[in-house]
Amino acid sequence: MECVMVRIQIHLSFLFCIANSIITFPLLSQSLISINKLLIPAMEEGWMEVSEAEEIRVHLEKYGWPVVPEEVWAISGLRQECSDRLLKSPKWRTWCEWGKEEGMGNS
């Protein structure tokens, strides 16, 4: 009987850890999807190169969501045309709103 109780406690502990990690990082799984929703169509339309999409992805992983739209100019390796189109993109502006909300939550 003690063996069964220990096994149940281990399973419950494991489930608790998984549930806690999902609750703690809700945007982690959504961020890659959100990033791809902008980058993939931009590459298909031809105004963004694969190398530029990779630079944007690395920048977002390193620094998080942008806070102001002009942060696009801080991403190295982007052509002027790509920076201008990205600056005007509604997705980029949505990410800026997420960044502002995230920043307000941290302070």
For 61-107, write each residue's pLDDT tens digit.
888 899 999 999 999 999 999 999 999 999 999 999 988 887 676 55
pTM above 0.75, yes or no: no
The residue-averaged pLDDT of 45-64 equals 92
Distance between CA atoms of 86 and 43, rounded to whole angstroms? 12
The one-letter amino acid code at 13 reads S
Return the residue matching tokens 């096994």. Answer: 7
Q: Is 56 exposed, middle or buried (0-12, 13-18, 19+ CB in 10 A)?
A: buried
For 7-38, write each residue's pLDDT tens digit.
556 544 554 545 554 444 444 445 788 888 89
Question: N- to C-terminal Cα distance for the chain?
Answer: 49
